[in-house]
Structure 1
Amino acid sequence: MLIRLLIASAHPIVRTALGRLLNVVRDFEVVAETDLSDLVKAAQGVSPDVFLVELTESGLVGLRVIAALMRAVPDAPVAILSSNENASYVRSMLAMGVRA
């Protein structure tokens, strides 16, 4: 089964690198790469199976991005890549519906 991915990151090099790496995996198809500011708009245009979001922004910026996505696409399967190890930040993401 092909899994359609939307990759979001504030950094173009991260988006491109993740896209290239994941597109060679047989069961993955990267259907969009976007900046965090365009995440919700991109989500509505391509209907991915999984949102892979890289958050280098800590605190409120990352929480706002994910909150906006979850309002727009309530059942969105979201996986976060982040170096933020703050337990309350992680709990907040999980409470919003982030799955990984």
Structure 2
Amino acid sequence: MSYGFVVKASDDVPTELLEEFDIPTAPIIYRGTEDEPDVVKHFMGEIVETGIKISNLLKTNTAMLMTENQRLMHAAKTTYNLCKTGFSLGNYKVADHCHLS
């Protein structure tokens, strides 16, 4: 028995962060052996370990990089782009961002 999996990060996740958190960027392939016949147990261990690494990465905040033009456009907005709902104290303005910024 064997297994394989790949972690596919979105394009806006810096490669350096994947390396810093030891998140695999190449496919993980494992084939059971006579010494290690419990492939399912091995798979579960690898998936859980990789999930913990990804969770730790997602706790990282990176700076949101906006051009001057993007800052001006954001400051001028009075409603959300999609639903056109106005901003208020309870419905405050935020910039579109990824999970890291």
Q: Normalising to structure 1: TM-score of the pair?
A: 0.24
Q: Normalising to structure 2: TM-score of the pair?
A: 0.24
Higher helix proportion (structure 1 or 2):
1
Bigger radius of gyration, 1 or 2? 2
Higher strand proportion (structure 1 or 2):
1
